[in-house]
Chains A and B, each alone.
Chain A
């Protein structure tokens, strides 16, 4: 296999509820503070306690796009961590373990580091701090520095001030133990980076919440659901300071209807949910589309159907996001492809919702929502899209809420505006918002609402954020996808490039409307395109085949489906191999 970018993949396994994830989080923050770029991945059982959890940190000197396939270092907090993970280690990976709890076969060839975490913690009469012994040891072995580990811990456990002194002592003992017993530099440590640019460290949910605040969101109605809840919790903390409001509603149907009501009254408003909640919201998506009320709905996808895989990832809600509703209810669907992009796509989402007066759905997924990444601090809020179109004084004379316009966008009065009185009408209606069921009116209003999508398409064609295109320009072979799979694709393309194999990739950020020009230009000259996605029946590929049928047929472009429906993301190697298979099936490189 080709040479990788210089990174360390650190995997930590242990019992849920025993601080395994906390260990990972603190080491992640310590690494970021030391100047490294970080990228995490975690799996956990749906239950709060019990069961095995896995945390993976990938750290490096450059921006990281995927969690890494094989671990360079395994931290085994218990026997199951060794049993379940040793097959995923690279040859001669380092093993850090508690010798009282884990039995390692004598034949193991890699370097081993025994850290008696439980025993040290017990000696301090602080057994629950055994994970902090491991944090201390790791900060020595990875050469992150004791100060960084202490600061990261204080930041992460700030709500446990009463235990802070004890925790600090435990961490220092772990550091001292490792320093004393393993003084030599370990071969897997990276050189410390030079001072990095201004960066943030955050997970995908917080990126969405920050994006919403930057975009001026002032109302959130939500209902708890894994894995979307942290978005609500972050906004609950900050919205009151913005004069905003957060309501934990009685269910998802109430959430989205409150959001529609709040937006009707003039607030920028959103909700966030996952598959089961999104299914409940579908009727109200139609309501927002019909009454032309701007709303933003974030769907943090998880595996389904039904309750499915609450703590696992997937991309199976694309059809529902694009088409969910009875009859046809125009909406916009955006797909961020990283934690950083989650922030920026929320700015787009509110701009588009407000300007086009319709629901905008932001599709992210479990892995992207819970993982922690470093990202450059956001630049100034950019605003390429005009905001909500309010009526002028002239338009308030004989005001027509749903007046037909060339763009499809009509001026929207807000309650409190004299002369703007109208009914947001869920029945088919005329320009005055009066119910009207004539064949002519229904057709005219269906056309008006749909026209907004075409106006949006034309506007977004000019946005540099409409699609991400990279790799060898004009290469014969391509990869197209959406959302979180981009990271693995990006790294797979780097591997191929090192072998001299040229591939180009395209990730649209808007799935509805599709950026036709960008996609057609990308497809032009391609012999074959791989479409990886985390669902069972190739939803994105099917939509592509439908929309670009003529070009695909005329130019004889072969779309290679590559679905994965396992609840886990693609590995880089899977994408790399699939591209090689595609090229071989197509008769080899051009």
Chain B
């Protein structure tokens, strides 16, 4: 039995989120997953960018870095590489991750950097009061798009699978038990783990009923090591499947590879390097 309890990861700051926000459930599930893994709080770091969901680190009793908009992944990458013994997570929203920070996704996947990245996707910019996001449905009418958006939404799972992400999952904030399971699997994964959490915004884009209708567990016979099957299932948007779409446990994580490289190099001192430049 785990000696640590979810509340060991709670701090005294009250979240700023609206009552009913999906992010509360993500917060709860994350604390349960950390407790289930029995991780010492001081050995966990959560990095984030800007947005409602990016405030999550403020409410967890672990080390955190609340950085600038869109840069959670580079921050988390630097933290992990400096101290691979840490368990490092990055969290944020769909605007932070898929819009301003979208350029970092393929590279985190390419490096297979040993991080857990949780995107709380509410299909809207909530902190700035309701503008369309990269995952908003086409035609969504908002103040910044009074005639309806003309951009097609991204398909985050398909995108991350095509980048070669070694762990791709989707969960829903109404399903805490599954979230805890997926978060735990991600924390144990040896490379880059991406999780899209459907986490509705009750104030600007309340999609609870919509998602309750269209979400379904992945087919019982789905094999997460089957990349082609994962791609096929991710293309289906009428039904939003929940669960672990894909996992490749065979690829070593980036920090493990770096550790190998460092172990192979014969140690040098600065003076020895300077000697190479002698006339």
Contacts and interface: CB of A to CB of B under 8 A. Distances in A.
Interface string A269-311: 1000000000000011011000100000000000000000000
Contact of B277 (A200, A250, A269, A420): A200
Nearest to A243: B262
Contacts of A425: 58, 66
A423 B67 contact: no
A260 B42 contact: no
B74 A249 contact: yes
Interface of chain A, helix or strand or loop or mixed? mixed
A447 interface: no
Interface string B40-84: 111101010010000001100111111110010111111111110
A427 B66 contact: yes
A261 B79 contact: yes
Given A202-B277, A210-B273, A418-B42, A423 B64 contact: yes
A200 B279 contact: yes
B268 interface: yes
A228 B56 CA distance: 37
A423 B48 CA distance: 10
Given A199-B279, A265-B82, A374-B279, A426 B68 contact: yes
A166 to B, nearest CB: 26
Interface residues of A, number: 66
Interface string B93-137: 000000000011011000000000000000000000000000000
Contact of A287 (B67, B86, B265, B279): B67
A210 B273 CA distance: 7
A284 B68 contact: yes
Contacts of B80: 261, 265
A265 B266 contact: no
Contacts of B106: 250
A213 interface: yes
Contact of B261 (A206, A240, A283): A240
A377 interface: yes
A245 B64 contact: no
A243 B81 CA distance: 11
B1 interface: no
Contacts of B270: 210, 213-214, 381
Given A258-B78, A261-B79, A242 B267 contact: yes
B67 A257 contact: yes
A333 B66 CA distance: 26
Contacts of A374: 279
A221 B75 CA distance: 11
Contact of A291 (B65, B262, B267): B65
A32 interface: yes
B232 interface: no
B85 to A, nearest CB: 7
Interface string A232-270: 000000101111110101110111011111111111010
B258 interface: yes
A540 B82 CA distance: 37
A254 B57 CA distance: 20
Assign chain B's interface to a size class: 35 or more
B68 A423 contact: no
B143 interface: no
B220 interface: no
Contacts of B210: none
A378 interface: yes
B144 interface: no
Instruction: Give the most central of B42, B50, B80: most A CB within 10 Å.
Output: B42
Contacts of A422: 63-64
Contacts of A366: none
A258 B81 contact: yes
B274 A415 contact: no
A82 interface: no
A247 B270 CA distance: 20
A416 B278 contact: no
Contact of B78 (A261, A378, A420, A423): A261
A421 B62 contact: yes
B86 A265 contact: yes
A335 to B, nearest CB: 23
Nearest to B87: A415
Contacts of A266: 82-83
A418 B68 CA distance: 26
Contacts of B64: 422-424
A253 B74 contact: yes
A247 B273 contact: no
Contacts of B261: 240
Given A249-B107, A423-B66, A261 B61 contact: no
Contact of A265 (B66, B73, B79): B79
Nearest to A293: B65
Instruction: Give the most central of A244, A257, A262, A381: most B CB within 10 Å.
Output: A257
Given A284-B71, A415-B45, A426-B66, A261 B82 contact: yes
B42 A435 contact: no
B82 A242 contact: no
Given A201-B277, A426-B67, A416 B42 contact: yes
A414 B104 CA distance: 25
A258 B43 contact: no
A416 B86 contact: yes
Nearest to A284: B68
B43 A254 contact: no
Contacts of A423: 57-58, 63-66
Contacts of B66: 423-427
Contacts of A415: 42-43, 45, 63, 79, 83, 86
A434 interface: yes
A219 interface: yes
A419 B161 CA distance: 39
B75 A261 contact: yes
26 contacts: A196-B279, A200-B274, A200-B278, A201-B279, A210-B270, A213-B273, A218-B82, A219-B81, A238-B273, A242-B268, A243-B267, A245-B258, A254-B74, A265-B83, A265-B86, A266-B82, A269-B78, A287-B68, A415-B45, A415-B83, A416-B83, A416-B86, A417-B42, A421-B63, A424-B67, A426-B68
Given A214-B270, A415-B79, A434-B13, 12 more contacts: A200-B274, A200-B277, A200-B279, A206-B277, A219-B81, A238-B268, A244-B262, A253-B74, A255-B74, A257-B67, A261-B76, A264-B75
